[in-house]
Amino acid sequence: FSYACPIAWLCVIFYTGLTGASLAGLPFTFWAWINIAALTQVIFTVLLVQLFSHRSFAAAVAFSKTEVLQTAIFEALILGVVVTVQTGFAIALGVFATVMLALVKTNLSLSNVRQSIMSRQMAIGLAAGAFLGFCTVSYGAAMQAMTGGSLLSNAIYAAAIGVTIQAVCFGGYLYVVKRGEFIA
């Protein structure tokens, strides 16, 4: 996150210099959503890194890709976005395909399907997808809470503020809890 921070703010400076755009109003709801977005993205990253330690990494990552379905659910619940029948069918088909990808190197049997679905890797993969989906919706809610500004300028500012929160929080965690890793 610390590497992304200067790049994000350089994008803000470049965009502001190019367009003359100013920072939109940032009400309390923006700060609530941007902090939730930043935190859930950090949790997603930690879970995804955790998947690297499991044998069936490809299957676990495939389950994390259900974030599309989970994002649609979170958008409907939080932002009031209505999913059409066609979109719902496409999402369901995508989830089915994801499950099939997770089973690609096994004999297709009810036992293997059950074992794959009940595995720790699948749980971590689904949790990672859920946190990424919720992160996406939270960034959208934060941008909607901003008063004024174009969609692009709000996205650029929200990304820069979000990655700054992540760098400060994660850096603080490393400094307090794992100082050796922070210095390295």
Model pLDDT, residue 183 = 67
Tokens of 151: 């969609």
- Same-domain check for residues 63 and 16: no
Model pLDDT, residue 77 = 82
Whether residue 31 is contained in a domain is answered as no
C-alpha torsion angle, residues 23, 29, 35, 40 (rounded to 10): -120
- Same-domain check for residues 127 and 170: no
Taking the CA atoms of 127, 125, 140 and 6 in sequence, report the sign of the dihedral they define: positive
Whether residue 109 is contained in a domain is answered as yes
- Same-domain check for residues 133 and 153: no
Whether residue 28 is contained in a domain is answered as no
- Same-domain check for residues 137 and 53: yes
Query: Is the CB of residue 147 less than 8 Å from the CB of residue 22?
Result: no
The mean pLDDT of 80-95, rounded to a whole number, is 82
Q: Is 118 exposed, middle or buried (0-12, 13-18, 19+ CB in 10 A)?
A: exposed
- Same-domain check for residues 79 and 157: no
Is the pLDDT at 184 greater than 60, yes or no? no
The mean pLDDT of 152-165, rounded to a whole number, is 95
The mean pLDDT of 29-48, rounded to a whole number, is 94
- Same-domain check for residues 165 and 75: no
pLDDT tens, 56-72?
666 666 766 778 778 88
- Same-domain check for residues 93 and 166: no
- Same-domain check for residues 135 and 176: no
Euclidean distance between CA atoms 140 and 123, whole angstroms: 26
- Same-domain check for residues 80 and 103: yes
Q: Which domain holds residue 181?
A: 1-21+149-184
Whether residue 67 is contained in a domain is answered as yes
Whether the full predicted model's pTM is greater than 0.85, yes or no, is: no
- Same-domain check for residues 109 and 163: no
Model pLDDT, residue 144 = 92
Number of structural domains the chain divides into: 2
- Same-domain check for residues 114 and 96: yes
- Same-domain check for residues 90 and 16: no
pLDDT tens, 114-144?
776 677 777 888 888 899 999 999 999 999 9
Whether residue 34 is contained in a domain is answered as no
More confident residue, 168 or 149: 168
Please enumerate in sequence order all residues whose Cβ is within 8 A of that of 131, keeping only pairs 6 or more positions apart, or say none: 40, 41, 43, 44, 47
Query: Is the CB of residue 21 less than 8 Å from the CB of residue 151?
Result: no
